[in-house]
Amino acid sequence: MKIHILGVCGSFMGGIALLARGRGHAVTGTDADAYPPMSLQLQEAGIRIYQGYSAASFDERPDLVIIGNALSRGNPCVEYVLDSGLPYVSGPQWLREEVLADKYVLAVSGTHGKSTTTSLLAWILEYAGLRPGFLVGAVPHDFGVSARLGGGEYFVVEADEYDCAFFDKRAKFLHYRPKTLVITNIEYDHADIFSDLAAIRREFHHLIRTIPKSGTVICSATDAEIGKVLDMGCWTPVERFGAGRSDWLVTPESEDYSVFSIQHQPQGGIARINWSLLGHHNADNAVAAAAAAHSVGVPVSTAGSGLNRFRGVQRRLQRIGSPRGITVYDDFAHHPTAIRATLESLRRHVGNAPIIAVMEPRSNTMKLGVHADDLAPSFKAADRAFILHPPKLSWDLRKAVAGGPVPCRVAENVDEIIGAIVDIARPGDHVLIMSNGNFGGIHQRLLEALK
């Protein structure tokens, strides 16, 4: 079958392309902007990418078009598909029908930590010899790709609450029908499609309604919003992780959580983790993954051994270079809670060394100004911050960050940020770049400039 994917370089749709290619289909795709790491793995898989949305992308009539949620009516490719009568589906629908239908699905949901927890869970199952399939919204270093079909009965999927496509406004995760479900946390996000937090809770409730009694729901013990969702109705055994009277406990053994233990109660299974990841949030991600793996029979000790060998995820506090002794990191954080957690983790790791935070407010929620009041406080663990001013912003970014806990400079372009960092950065400094996009290629450009 010839499949053409619109929005193919998105983290989810790129994974769909890899899975379709793995099933033997001839796959091509179109996107407005192709950049690493997704563009590279698609090219390595032999998937041709057409740049820019044009009807010329359909040089050969495909048998099926899979349409990503970044596209809407008025897009030239969408209009061509509709006018030509081409068969089309959303990515989540295709995934359910073509890949997940005969699998035991383990889904990882939540506002933050999905990609890391999904990667951890897939790696634990791999380490346990279960050869899982997976689809992650990032590239785990241990696999080198964001998606694969796998060779066993299990499939691990990052389960997003965002909508499916312009013609299917349900949350993606409602298509997946998991038997094991992880909920890391719930906060207000995706303000372009959800009017308030109650609307998000309702989507998670709908997801809970699809989990069988023979399944398992694994969730944070300390997240109040998850508690509200469960209070709406739950028909599946629940295991909680984190602190207090949890089924799964995390005990730190170092300030930066690079060393900690996880314990399953009351059975008493315990494992000590000593790894390269940092932060309390990543320790929670690890114990959530261990609990999910345990739901399909993986012992705590095996999960612990796998976690100790986990090499991380691209764009998750990833060290990308140290020119002249100035360490530069790349991270996907774009929500104030994630920005705060990432900076606090780095601060605990580097002690009093100077941290320069660099951030691009790129998400639709951020552009709408929903998190305007929370943005400046999220940089508290840094020494100073640089924020790129996106075009056509509907709120006053400079006013929002004025008077924050650290000096925040709002820049009009990437060149301005690079020039300022080159002027002030000294050996021993740490520069943390945060964005859920390409950020104008700032990562490599800054590394070159600092040389």
Identify the CATH number of the domain in which residue 42 sits. Answer: 3.40.50.720
165: alpha, beta or left? (left if phi > 0; alpha if psi -120 to 50)? beta
pLDDT recorded at residue 224? 94
Is the pLDDT at 242 greater than 90, yes or no? no
Domain boundary among 37, 65, 90: 90
Interacting residues of 365 by C-beta distance below 8 A, sequence separation 6+:
188, 189, 190, 191, 192, 335, 371
Say if residue 304 is in the same domain as residue 324.
no
Say if residue 7 is in the same domain as residue 37.
yes
Asked if the structure places residue 170 within a domain, the reply is yes
pLDDT recorded at residue 180? 98
Asked if the structure places residue 97 within a domain, the reply is no
More confident residue, 178 or 266: 178
- Residues of the domain holding 413: 318-450
Asked if the structure places residue 152 within a domain, the reply is yes
Q: Report the range of poorest mean pLDDT among 135-144, 149-158, 237-246.
A: 237-246
The CATH number that applies at residue 209 is 3.40.1190.10
Is the pLDDT at 168 greater than 90, yes or no? yes
Is the pLDDT at 219 greater than 90, yes or no? yes
Say if residue 440 is in the same domain as residue 368.
yes
In Å, how far from its chain's centre is CA 267? 32
Confidence of residue 37 (pLDDT cuts 50, 70, 90): confident
Say if residue 211 is in the same domain as residue 342.
no
The identity of residue 403, as a single letter, is G
Q: Which helix (H) or strand (E) holds 321?
A: strand 318-321
pLDDT recorded at residue 191? 74
Asked if the structure places residue 313 within a domain, the reply is no
Is the pLDDT at 365 greater than 80, yes or no? no
pLDDT recorded at residue 274? 96
Say if residue 333 is in the same domain as residue 381.
yes
Is the pLDDT at 225 greater than 80, yes or no? yes
More confident residue, 317 or 410: 410
Q: Helices marked H in 27-113 — which ranges?
A: 38-44, 76-84, 91-95
Starting at the edge strand found earlier in the chain, the sheet holding 384-388 runs: 318-321, 327-331, 430-434, 355-359, 384-388, 408-411
pLDDT recorded at residue 362? 81
Asked if the structure places residue 337 within a domain, the reply is yes
Is the pLDDT at 366 greater than 90, yes or no? no
pLDDT recorded at residue 405? 94
pLDDT recorded at residue 11? 87
Asked if the structure places residue 328 within a domain, the reply is yes
Confidence of residue 190 (pLDDT cuts 50, 70, 90): confident
Say if residue 112 is in the same domain as residue 248.
yes
Q: Report the range of poorest mean pLDDT among 48-62, 209-223, 291-305, 406-420.
A: 48-62
Is the pLDDT at 344 greater than 80, yes or no? yes
N- to C-terminal Cα distance for the chain?
49
Average pLDDT (9-25) is 95
Domain boundary among 90, 113, 138: 90
Asked if the structure places residue 407 within a domain, the reply is yes
Say if residue 272 is in the same domain as residue 323.
no
Confidence of residue 106 (pLDDT cuts 50, 70, 90): very high
Average pLDDT (389-406) is 89
Say if residue 151 is in the same domain as residue 286.
yes
Is the pLDDT at 78 greater than 90, yes or no? yes
Question: Which residues are paired to 158 by β-bridges?
Answer: 108
pLDDT recorded at residue 15? 96
Q: Report the range of poorest mean pLDDT among 22-31, 127-136, 191-200.
A: 191-200
Domain boundary among 34, 63, 90: 90
Interacting residues of 175 by C-beta distance below 8 A, sequence separation 6+:
90, 92, 93, 95, 96, 164
Say if residue 275 is in the same domain as residue 128.
yes
Confidence of residue 381 (pLDDT cuts 50, 70, 90): very high
Confidence of residue 308 (pLDDT cuts 50, 70, 90): very high
Say if residue 69 is in the same domain as residue 141.
no
Domain count, the chain: 3
Say if residue 291 is in the same domain as residue 339.
no
Is the pLDDT at 309 greater than 90, yes or no? yes
Q: Report the range of poorest mean pLDDT among 113-122, 328-337, 440-449.
A: 328-337
Nearest partner of 394 among 411, 369, 365, judged by Cα: 369
Asked if the structure places residue 239 within a domain, the reply is yes
- Mean residue pLDDT of the chain comes to 93
The CATH number that applies at residue 372 is 3.90.190.20
Average pLDDT (144-171) is 95
Say if residue 27 is in the same domain as residue 130.
no
Average pLDDT (391-404) is 88
pLDDT recorded at residue 181? 98
